Amino acid sequence: MTQLAPDSPDPPLRLDRVPVRSLNRVGPKVAERLDKLGIRTVQDLLFHLPVRYQDRTRLTPIQDVQPGSEALVEGEILDAEIASGRRRSLKVWLGDVAGAGLLLRFFHFSPQQVASLKVGERLRCYGEVRQGPQSLEIVHPEYRLQRASDEGTGARLTPIYPSTEGLQQSSWRGLTDQALALMEQASPAELLPAGILASLGLPSLTEALAFLHRPPIETSLQELMDGRHPAFARLAFEELVAHQVSLRRMRLEQRGIAAPVLNGDGRLRRSLLAGLPFALTAAQERVVAEIAGDLTQTRPMQRLLQGDVGAGKTVVAALAALQALEAGCQAALMAPTELLSEQHHRSLGGWVRSLGIEPLWLAGRHKGREREERLEAIASGAARIVVGTHALLQDDVAFRDLGLVIVDEQHRFGVHQRMKLREKGGRDGGAPHQLIMTATPIPRSLAMTLYADLDLSVIDALPPGRTPITTRAVPDNRRDEVIERVRLACEAGRQAYWVCTLIEESEALECQAAEETARQLSERLPGQRVGLVHGRLKSQERDALMAEFAAGTLDLLVATTVIEVGVDVPNASLMIIENPERLGLAQLHQLRGRVGRGSVESHCLLLYHAPLSLVAKERLGIIRGSVSGFEIAERDLAIRGAGEVLGTRQTGAIQFRIADPLRDQPLVPAAQRAADRILSQHPELATPLVARWLGEREHYGQV
Ligand code: ADP
Ligand code: MG
Strands (E) across 232-283 are located at none
Are 312 and 412 contained in the same domain? yes
- Give the nearest ligand 1 atom to 281 CA: 23
361 and 378 share one domain: yes
Q: Is 168 helix (H, G, I), strand (E, B) or coil?
A: coil
Distance 308 CA to ligand 2 centre (A): 9
Tally of domains within the chain: 4
State yes or no: pLDDT of 491 exceeds 90: yes
Taking the CA atoms of 313, 319, 322 and 326 in sequence, report the sign of the dihedral they define: negative
By percentage, how much of the chain surpasses pLDDT 90? 41
- 655 inside domain: no
Q: Which residues contact 479 (CB under 8 A, 6 or more apart)?
A: 607
Please name every residue paired with 332 in a beta bridge, in sequence order, or none if there are none. Answer: 386, 405
Q: Can you give the CATH number for the domain in which 563 is found?
A: 3.40.50.300
**Ligand 1 atom at shortest distance from the alpha carbon of 279:** 23
Do 38 and 127 lie in one domain? The reply is no
Across the strands, what pairs with 388? 334, 362
pLDDT for 699 equals: 40
The ligand that comes nearest to the alpha carbon of residue 568 is: 1
Residues contacting 163, CB < 8 A, separation 6+:
169, 172
3-class SS letters over 296-336: CCCCCCEEEEEECCCCCHHHHHHHHHHHHHHCCCEEEEECC
Q: Give the Cα separation of 272 and 353 in Å (integer).
A: 10
d(CA 377, CA 394): 16
Q: Using the mean position of ligand 1's atoms as its centre, give its distance from the Cα of residue 417 in Å.
A: 27
Domain of residue 290: give its range.
267-459
638 belongs to a structural domain = no
Q: Are residues 538 and 554 in the same domain?
A: yes
Highest-pLDDT range among 209-223, 268-282, 529-543: 268-282
Average pLDDT, the chain: 84
Query: Whose Cα sits closest to atom 4 in ligand 1?
Result: 313
Do 48 and 194 reside in the same domain of the chain?
A: yes
Q: Among 314, 347, 459, which residue has the most ligand 1 atoms within 8 Å of its CB, making it the best to mutate?
A: 314
From the CA of 542, how far away is ligand 1's center (Å)? 22
Q: Report the candidate in 168, 115, 174, 171 with the shortest Cα–Cα distance to residue 145.
A: 115
> Nearest ligand to the C-alpha of residue 306?
1
CB atoms within 10 A of CB 354: 10
- SS3 percent helix, strand, coil of the chain, rounded to 5, is 45, 20, 35
At residue 537 the predicted structure's pLDDT band, cuts being 50, 70 and 90, is confident
pLDDT single digits (tens) 456-482: 898 988 888 777 789 999 999 999 999
Residues 184 and 109 occupy one common structural domain: no
Per-residue b/e over 461-482, b at no fewer than 16 CB within 10 Å? Answer: ebbeeeeebebebeeeeeeeeb
- Ligand sitting nearest the alpha carbon of 598: 1
- Judged by its nearest atom, the ligand closest to the C-alpha of residue 283 is 1
**Nearest-CA residue for atom 9 of ligand 1:** 312
Identify the three-state secondary structure at position 32: helix
- pLDDT recorded at residue 702: 30
Which residue out of 272, 278, 306, 333 has the highest number of ligand 1 atoms within 8 Å of its CB and is therefore the one to mutate? 278
Task: Assign 3-class secondary structure to 459-506.
Answer: ECCCCCCCCCEEEEEEEHHHHHHHHHHHHHHHHCCCEEEEECCCCCCC
| Cα separation, 686 vs 688, whole angstroms | 6
Ligand 1, pocket residues at CB < 6 Å: 278, 280-281, 284, 307, 309-315, 439, 463, 566, 568
H-helix segments, 118-204: 169-185, 194-200
Ligand nearest to the CA of 305: 1
Is residue 86 a part of any domain in this protein? yes
**Does residue 698 surpass a pLDDT of 50?**
no
The protein residue with its alpha carbon nearest to ligand 1, atom 23, reads 280
Residue 566 CA: which ligand 1 atom is closest? 7
pLDDT tens profile 549-603: 988 999 999 998 766 555 678 899 999 999 888 777 877 888 888 888 777 889 9
Nearest ligand 1 atom to alpha carbon 465: 25
Distance 277 CA to ligand 2 centre (A): 18
CA pseudo-torsion sign 283, 287, 290, 293? negative
Please say which residue of 123, 153, 183 terminates a domain: 153
- Asked if pLDDT for residue 149 goes beyond 60, the answer is no
Q: What is the pLDDT of residues 202-226, one digit of tens each?
A: 999 999 999 999 999 888 877 887 7
196, 148: one domain: no
Do 506 and 367 lie in one domain? The reply is: no
- Compute the distance from residue 591 Cα to the ligand 1 centre, in Å: 16
Range in 16-20, 316-320, 599-603, 626-630 with the lowest mean pLDDT:
626-630
Whole-angstrom distance, CA of residue 233 vs CA of residue 221 = 15
CA of 312 to the centre of ligand 1 (A): 3
Using one digit for the tens of pLDDT, what is the confidence trace for 413-453? Answer: 555 556 666 667 655 567 899 998 887 766 666 666 666 66
Q: Whose CA is nearest to atom 13 of ligand 1?
A: 312
